[in-house]
Amino acid sequence: MNPNFLQTPIPYLKGVGPNRAETLRTELGIESYRDLLHLFPNRYLDKTQYYKIIQLQPSGADVQIVGKIVHLKTLEQKRGKRLVASFVDDTGQMELVWFRGHKWIRENLKLNEPYVVFGRTARYGNTFSMPHPEMELLSEHQQGLKVAMQPIYPSTEKLSTKGITNRVISKMVQQLFLDCKGKFPESLAPSIIEELRLISKSEALFNIHFPKNQELLAKAQFRLKFEELFFVQLQLISKKILRKHKIKGLRFDQVGDNFNTFFSEHLPFELTNAQKRVIKEIRKDMGSNAQMNRLLQGDVGSGKTIVALLCMLLAADNGFQSCLVAPTEILAQQHYNGLKELLGKMDVKIALLTGSTKKSERTLLHNQLENGNLNILVGTHAVLEDKVQFKNLGLAIIDEQHRFGVAQRSKLWHKNEIPPHILVMTATPIPRTLAMSLYGDLDISVIDELPPGRKPIKTVHRFDSNRLKVFQFIKDEIKKGRQIYIVYPLIKESEALDYKDLMDGYESIARDFPKSDYQISIVHGKMKPADKDYEMERFVKGETQIMVATTVIEVGVNVPNASVMIIESAERFGLSQLHQLRGRVGRGAEQSFCILMTSHKLSEDAKTRLQTMVRTNDGFEIAEVDLKLRGPGDLMGTQQSGLLNLKIADIVKDNQILKTARYHALQLLKNDPRLEKEENKYILIAYTKMMQQSNIWNYIS
């Protein structure tokens, strides 16, 4: 087979043509023979058995019958007409029924010719009927590729209206197999095929489209899932190896006054063992000659900021600058205030740069950065702008990294001649499965214990009918001197509705908590930034006891005195968001509470989310449940979802295959880093082809 055969544009396939090709391109992204070959069926209908009419049961299952049409009639009904055919075999009679397309169907049906009909039956009285059956003349049926189990392909409304039915797509795939005689180049090494007892590439592709039976289908699925995940892992791991060998890193081998002074005199509490372990991992990275590219995961409140600061002091000790980039102004401001407080009177210059920074301050800042007088810059996306130039940026820390696009992250690389060390921090725990696929090219550190003295947050689920009791509980907590968050959902598409929910809620709270006794702050997306900051500031200073807000407070507001988080319409939030919001309380030494308020009407998924929140505070367990509920694409948000554009594998359900694929990719690269050995030639060819396509994997981190 010509190696470039599969690159042939789809209009050239017999039975496609320019019009169908355009629809296939826009609806299913099919542009070449290869794309059609990799359009895998969603499910299969078992066509291994032929039924007799006498055997039919009212089960609603799809069945296949051989018989003849002996009579056709059109019947009037309330709306329009229906076409009815009497269909017989040697055991009995049934009806075939059509509610639309009569004229065309009537013209094309042949009486007294053997047909194979396939569809779902229903029984009316003693007669079975089959609406809109799939039909094929027995003679054609016997000539076609023997398909025991019928593949059902992905479809859209537009495909159906343009007449590109499942049968049409199946015919196109058959044509493709006939054109290339069912032979496809192998893409794995014989040793892997032997060890895992995989069927060949050609057999796998044939049996995914036209399986003879369940067993062959299962073998085809395993082979293709393994291969897909294997090449993903191969690409990620080789990137990691390449970066460690090729990309020269800055060497931080001095542990000097800044680090030591802070460690011995300014550390507010004893570091946890997890923090010590992570700092050790980072110091090892920064002390080697390679560029660090590490992901730091730690649940809300686990002390990532202290780790980040110690790394930045290490950079300063080695004569380099650092920057910490956060997704929102509020979070950047908070990091800045927190770091300033931790540094106390130490001689470390730190500054803040956000969209609101005045022009005069910016000019001064730019000068200080360029002449090296500034050690640490904290900021938002404003830090990424081209005019922000450092004298020698040695460490870039990105907080809540899933809020930043890949292109934005790469800008930090170019802020220094030798790329700075990169530390990516997230409080959204990423399940191991997902981390292996999305961040397989990063080293991963996890802070998996909370600082001493922190009490776990108590979480409860209450229905709206318990609201009075909840309000009483709030009053009792306020009497103890505590503060309260009440959060309403924010769903972009319906801002007006969200605003109404928030304002209605605010009014009912204002009635129960009158101004004479209580002060309430309100924060939402329609406010000017200055007003938002003013309200936040009042709450932080303790001038207001209740903060009514939309999810703008999800990330990074730190008020140790706030001990109660009430989440309204909690069923409208995703699990990771509920977990993030809960992390806004429990930052002081007092017992904190999270109350999830919902109506009685809950979907099964919503019940699972609420039960998970009540059961556990473990962010990783929550992330695993979230991954199972929502699937990998959703979990990473739109910027990253393309990364998991897998054709057949599912990294949640196929977790074991993923681990096997990663193991084999690691072994392969250990023994043959450049894929030069004869036995790996197929892998090299397939891998090179993938790298030439403008593949998503080329853009990871």
Question: Which of 285, 615, 607, 557 is closest to 427 using CA atoms?
Answer: 557
Note whether 257-447 and 458-616 share their fold: yes
pTM of the full predicted structure?
A: 0.65
Exposure of 347 by Cβ count < 10 A (0-12 exposed, 13-18 middle, 19+ buried)?
A: exposed
pLDDT at 588: 77
What SS3 state is found at 322? strand
Which alpha helices (DSSP H) does 180-261 contain, by range? 190-195, 201-209, 214-246, 257-261
Which helix (H) or strand (E) segment is 118 a member of? strand 114-120
Question: Which of 325, 330, 372, 333 is closest to 349 using CA atoms?
Answer: 372
State the Cα–Cα distance between residues 541 and 332, nearest whole angstrom.
18
Domain-wise residue ranges, the chain: 48-146, 223-247+656-699, 257-447, 458-616
**Sheet with 421-426, side-by-side order of all strands:** 350-353, 376-379, 321-325, 393-399, 421-426, 293-298, 443-447
Q: How many CA atoms are closer than 13 Å to the CA of 151, on its beta-carbon side?
A: 26
- What CATH number has the domain spanning 48-146? 2.40.50.140
What are the angstrom distances between the C-alpha of 260 and each of 171, 282, 310, 311? 72, 16, 9, 12
pLDDT at 426: 83
pLDDT at 636: 43
pLDDT tens string 564-614: 999 999 998 888 889 888 988 887 778 999 999 999 989 888 999 999 999
pLDDT at 148: 67
Question: Which of 617, 608, 527, 541 is closest to 581 using CA atoms?
Answer: 617
State the Cα–Cα distance between residues 154 and 165, nearest whole angstrom.
10
- Please provide the DSSP assignment of 132-184 as one string: S-EEEEHHHHHHS---SEEEE----HHHHHTT--HHHHHHHHHHHHHHTTT--
1 neighbors 113 (Cβ within 8 angstroms): no
555 neighbors 579 (Cβ within 8 angstroms): no
pLDDT at 453: 72
What SS3 state is found at 387? coil
443 neighbors 281 (Cβ within 8 angstroms): yes
- What CATH number has the domain spanning 458-616? 3.40.50.300
What are the angstrom distances between the C-alpha of 567 and each of 207, 555, 570? 50, 15, 6
- What CATH number has the domain spanning 257-447? 3.40.50.300
What are the angstrom distances between the C-alpha of 75 and each of 81, 84, 239, 346? 6, 7, 67, 92
Q: Which two tokens stand for residue 68?
A: 């003849």
Residue type, 245: H
pLDDT at 697: 38
Q: Looking at 372-428, which runs of residues are DSSP E strands?
A: 376-379, 393-399, 421-426
Question: Which of 120, 186, 116 is closest to 686 using CA atoms?
Answer: 186
Positions of the chain with pLDDT lower than 70, given as ranges:
1, 3, 59-60, 144-148, 401-409, 432-434, 436-441, 490-500, 552-557, 631-645, 652, 693-701
Query: Roughly what angle, to the nearest 10 degrees, separates helices 655-671 and 214-246?
Result: 50
Residue type, 328: T
Q: How many CA atoms are closer than 13 Å to the CA of 648, on its beta-carbon side?
A: 26
Query: How big is the CA angle at 166 (ends 161 and 167), to the nearest 5 degrees?
Result: 110
